[in-house]
Amino acid sequence: MNPIKHVAIIMDGNGRWGLKHNKSRNHGHRAGLKTVEKIIKISLKKKIPYLTLFAFSTENWRRPKKEINFLLKLLENFLQTKLNQLIEQKIKLKIIGNKNKFPKRIKKIINYSENKTKKNKKLHINLAINYGSKSEIVESIKKIIKKKQNVSEKKITSNLYTSDLPNPDILIRTGNTKRLSNFLLWQIAYSEIFFEKKLWPDFNESDYLKILNKFKIIKRNFGRI
């Protein structure tokens, strides 16, 4: 049985879900947040130590302002209303991505939430916002060069946002699209990938558990036979 240390998820399909229900794309984003809560709950129950959630990519700035502002507001509200719950559940929250581009208000609440949860050990949640894998890798290499060190796989890994985490065992993408959209390209070199047809707001506990169970019996070779 493979142990599960780290699950990464590309939470895709909110916008289509909203439209499918004759409502707005933003309605879908709100519904998607409920799925996030369900997945956190199961991850805790299954004692998965690391969960990385892709919430906003560096490319998502290309969306209409109205949608971007809604997503930022959703994040702000989530942190304001759920931070105590995260603390009670011993969850550590870390943002991966470039925080500089966010409005001051959001930066402040992100920093506050990270600080308040930094000592928690039960579940480490990485929320990827304004995250792009290629720029993460470039930044890592720049840091190595600046320190006048030799570029190696180990050094690139240890200068990424994810330096303190194991690589994802499982990568899930919902929303019926088979692509990686610039997510954790370096870290998923040996992850087991699950593409799910369901849109993120429809993805539920049993879908998640099915994936976790399938993963447990996969033969992982890492190049060996």
Catalytic choice (2, 14, 22, 60): 60
CB 192 within 8 A of CB 220: yes
Does 169 participate in binding Mg ion (rule CB under 5 A)? Answer: no
Distance from C-alpha of 13 to C-alpha of 202, rounded to nearest angstrom: 9
Applying CB under 5 A, does 196 fall inside the site for Mg ion? no
Q: Which residue among 97, 132, 168, 175 contacts ligand IPE (CB under 6 A)?
A: 175
12 classed as catalytic: yes
Task: Indicate whether 136 belongs to the interface with Mg ion (CB under 5 A).
Answer: no
Q: Does 12 bind Mg ion (CB under 5 A)?
A: yes
* 170-173 and 50-57 beta bridge pairing: unpaired
Q: Is 9 helix (H, G, I), strand (E, B) or coil?
A: strand
- Give yes or no for residue 58 binding ligand IPE (CB under 6 A): no
Kindly state the smallest distance separating residue 105's Cβ from ligand IPE, in Å. 19
Q: Which is nearer to ligand IPE, 32 or 48 (CB)?
A: 32
Single residue of 8, 13, 58, 92 touching ligand IPE by CB under 6 A: 13
Edge-first strand order for the sheet with 123-131 is 91-96, 123-131, 50-57, 6-10, 170-173, 192-195
Q: Where are the beta strands (DSSP E) in the chain?
A: 6-10, 50-57, 91-96, 123-131, 170-173, 192-195
**Under the rule (CB under 5 A), what is the footprint of Mg ion?**
12
Which residues belong to the active site? Answer: 12, 60
